[in-house]
Amino acid sequence: MRTVGVEEELLLVDRESGEPRALSSAVLARAARDTEESSGAEKQADDYREPGEETFERELHGEQLEFATQPRTSMDDLAEEVTRWRGDAARHAGDVGGAVAALATSPLPVSPSVNAGSRFQWMEEQFGLTTQEQLTCGCHVHVSVDSDEEGVAVIDRIRSWLPVLLALSANSPFWQGNDSLYSSYRSRVWGRWPMAGPTEIFGSAARYEEQVEEMVATGVLRDRGMVYFDARLSHRYPTVEIRVADVCLEATSTVLIATLARALVETAARDWRADRPPLSHGVASLRLAAWRAARSGPDGTLLHPTTMRPAPGDEVVRSLVDHVRDALEDSGDLDRVRGTTEGLLKHGNGARVQRDLLRRTGSLREVVAECVRRTRPA
């Protein structure tokens, strides 16, 4: 069975006001001290962390914290680990006067601070205001592949389905204190990077590598790590990395996105082995599908991945589940996915929850406070 791992970016906020705070260095120092204080026996017994590997990492802005899970085959294990690291992140942030919120953008106004470091400083100099305004928190899913050739074949075949994952995960309706009218405004901000977005059909690993080399050679990108395709070959792991999702408010939604991502990869690999060609939609249509998903989430109209024609969002979401049904059955995840999907369609994704909270409380600070509570496991 293919392994799947998740990288989640969390928003660091003031414990009292809910405003974003540049606490990443303090939180990382607290996490490092906590690790050092653990006994050797406890470290050896910890099956969540490989020897010498850190769980938490700094991101572009000081108001962000990222963690990464280990590769998992069991979705129960993945759910346990996501919940664990969210809890540890909350504990470490609390130790330095902060809190963490699984929010893809800050509901409250913020002037983000770019972290120190040559890479981040280079980005700030190269991209200016685009870098300054990138305080956004995403969720990246890594799914194992057998080879680069298989990986590129997968990327070619999942392109039109990725906006559905974006719609399900959408968790960023507010921007600088205002309702953006989008479900995922994060994705619109992220799209300002010139190297981000959907891709053409590559057709082969050789063509993929040629495209990446051409992009790096322009000098606009610092290195391969800045190839921000919606789905790419990881430059560090033998995986396809799917990068379209907002960080999800609920850990159960994160696991849903990861489960669907693995099923999409497996379905695409089977289609490739069976010589079934990818859908031929152009990049322009894929951009429109992504815009529609960001605007509406699953509550409105989406573009159907097979036809690129408007369809009700819930119908498109169920089409995705049907598309990957065989892979879900084989991994034992079909009932979980159906149940979680129907629950999300009924109760709403993070964007709907945030707007409902604002209607009930009239306060974006209260929205943040409730999202902090939902992020930290009971």
Give the mean model confidence (pLDDT) for residues 77-103.
97
Q: What percentage of the chain exceeds 70 in pLDDT?
A: 95
pLDDT band at 41 (very low <50, low <70, confident <90, very high): very low
Q: Give Cα 24 to chain centroid, integer Å.
A: 19
Give the least confident one: 47-51, 169-173, 192-196, 250-254: 47-51
pLDDT given at position 43: 46
47 three-state secondary structure: coil
pLDDT given at position 47: 43
21 three-state secondary structure: coil
Give residues with Cβ within 8 angstroms of 135, minimum separation 6. Answer: 11, 20, 60, 61, 63, 64, 105, 106, 110, 112
DSSP state of 70: P
The C-alpha atoms of residue 109 and residue 348 are separated, in whole angstroms, by: 24
Q: Count of alpha carbons within 13 Å of 363, Cβ hemisphere only? A: 10
Q: Is the pLDDT of residue 213 over 50?
A: yes
User: Could you tell me how many helices (H) and strands (E) the chain has, helices first?
Assistant: 16, 13
Q: Is the pLDDT of residue 26 over 90?
A: yes
Other CB atoms within a 10 A radius of the CB of residue 12 amount to: 25
Q: Is the pLDDT of residue 97 over 70?
A: yes
Give the mean model confidence (pLDDT) for residues 292-306.
98
CB 92 within 8 A of CB 30: yes
Query: DSSP per residue over 301-366, as a string?
Result: EEE-TTT--EEEHHHHHHHHHHHTHHHHHHHT-HHHHHHHHHHHHHH--HHHHHHHHHHHHS-HHH
**CB environment 246-271: b (16+ within 10 A), e (fewer):** bbbbbbbbbbbbbbbbbbbbbbbbeb
CB 161 within 8 A of CB 305: yes
Q: What percentage of the chain exceeds 90 in pLDDT?
A: 93
DSSP state of 211: H
pLDDT band at 48 (very low <50, low <70, confident <90, very high): very low
Please give the sequence-ordered ranges of beta strands (E in DSSP) within the chain, or none if there are none: 4-14, 56-57, 64-68, 98-101, 138-144, 174-175, 178-179, 196-197, 228-229, 231-233, 239-246, 301-303, 310-312
Give the mean model confidence (pLDDT) for residues 29-49.
61
pLDDT, tens digit, 9 for 90 and up, residues 362-372:
999 999 999 99
Query: DSSP per residue over 224-248, as a string?
Result: GGG-EESEEE-SSSSEEEEEEEEPP
pLDDT band at 38 (very low <50, low <70, confident <90, very high): low
104 three-state secondary structure: coil
DSSP element (H, E) containing 23? none
DSSP state of 136: -
Give the torsion through C-alpha atoms of 226, 87, 56, 125, to 10 deg: 50
Please report the domains of the chain, with CATH numbers, ordered by start residue.
Answer: 4-375 (3.30.590.20)
Q: Is the pLDDT of residue 345 over 90?
A: yes
Largest CA distance in the chain: 58
pLDDT given at position 33: 87
pLDDT, tens digit, 9 for 90 and up, residues 148-168:
999 999 999 999 999 999 999
